[in-house]
Copies of this chain bind each other. A is one copy, B any other.
Amino acid sequence: MKVRIKEVAVAAGVSAATVSKVLSGRADYPVHARTAERVRRVARDLGYVPDIAARHLRTRQTGQLGVVLEAVGPSEPDSLLGGLSVSHAVRRTFDGAIMAGLSEAARELDVPALVVYPGGDLDVRSFLDGRVDGLLVSCDPLRGHALLRGLTDAPVPIVALWTQVAPAGIGVVDVDHAYGAGLAVRHLLELRHRRIAFYGGGAGSGVEHFAQREAGYRQALEHAGLTPLPAIHDGGRLLQAVRDGVTAVFAETDLGAAAAFHALHGAGLRVPADVSLVGFDDIQGAEYIAGGLTTVYHPAAEMAVAGVQSLVARLEGESPRTTLLPPRLIQRRSTAPVQGR
């Protein structure tokens, strides 16, 4: 049978109230140092662990943070590809990174536990059941995020991860995709490329992050006095663009860069000798794409850390804020100075 506070009290020769005062964690109760010491020792010897359910009921708070991983994909392997579809695998790496970041931040900030809701047909109201003091919603960047809309006036603070469009009152933490794209483009500019193509759906994809990456691309070029090219999302047109003088390609994702490389390579073009190629995300395996893909590291774990920090700050009374994390360039071997042609 588990040890209760009453038993500790009896063993220590004090009342339950005193034990509570000593062990509740709050230091502002007046307890004699010797008494406190004795209580602590007895509690330890007896292996006393406060019952969390009773404490939650009494204090009306848990210290726990809820996590909704909207992005956690299905576990079924995609039989068409023999294994898991590649984009699923990418998603999972991000999910893993996010979990790692959440765990680490929780540890640092003394969050006792993270409550992960299994998702599915989540009812928004299930968040006001007293299980958590705040909620982190990791949005799926490829889909919308209907969840957030129902959370406008939730009874606990909410922080959205991986998006920049959230209703008022909801904090936001995201990667600065536009800045990351600028990093990639400026790297190519420094290598004296002047005709730089954007490969991917961009704004036309309807995906927030891809639109931002294209915007970052355009802005960096315009800032350099150059004219951005329309987004290309097709191998044939990419080849045409290269024939028309493009010397460098910024792909919206590493997966896109792999596809671009495939098209280029198939047409006998060499990377980086004939065309420089930069991706975005630094996915696992980027090392093996195009002989070592230069790309933009996507700080997913750092984003999760910032999310926990932001939520804890909210719990401590701060207002909702927006945090954008700067990606950084990872130089490998798919970019080189432009060659005279």
Contacts and interface: CB of A to CB of B under 8 A. Distances in A.
A7 to B, nearest CB: 15
Interface residues of A, number: 76
Interface in A107-160: 107, 111-120, 125-126, 128-131, 155
Contact of A50 (B56, B111, B118, B129): B129
A94 interface: yes
A125 B74 CA distance: 33
14 contacts: A2-B155, A47-B125, A49-B126, A52-B129, A53-B62, A72-B100, A75-B97, A83-B282, A99-B99, A102-B116, A111-B118, A114-B115, A283-B284, A284-B285
Given A53-B130, A82-B331, 11 more contacts: A56-B57, A69-B99, A75-B100, A75-B101, A75-B304, A92-B97, A93-B284, A99-B99, A113-B131, A114-B115, A284-B284
A162 to B, nearest CB: 14
Interface string A73-98: 11101000011101001111111110
Interface of A: 2, 47, 49-54, 56-57, 60, 62, 64, 67, 69, 72-75, 77, 82-84, 86, 89-97, 99-104, 106-107, 111-120, 125-126, 128-131, 155, 258, 282-289, 297, 299, 301-302, 304-305, 330-332
Contacts of A155: 2
Contacts of A99: 69, 72, 95-96, 99, 116
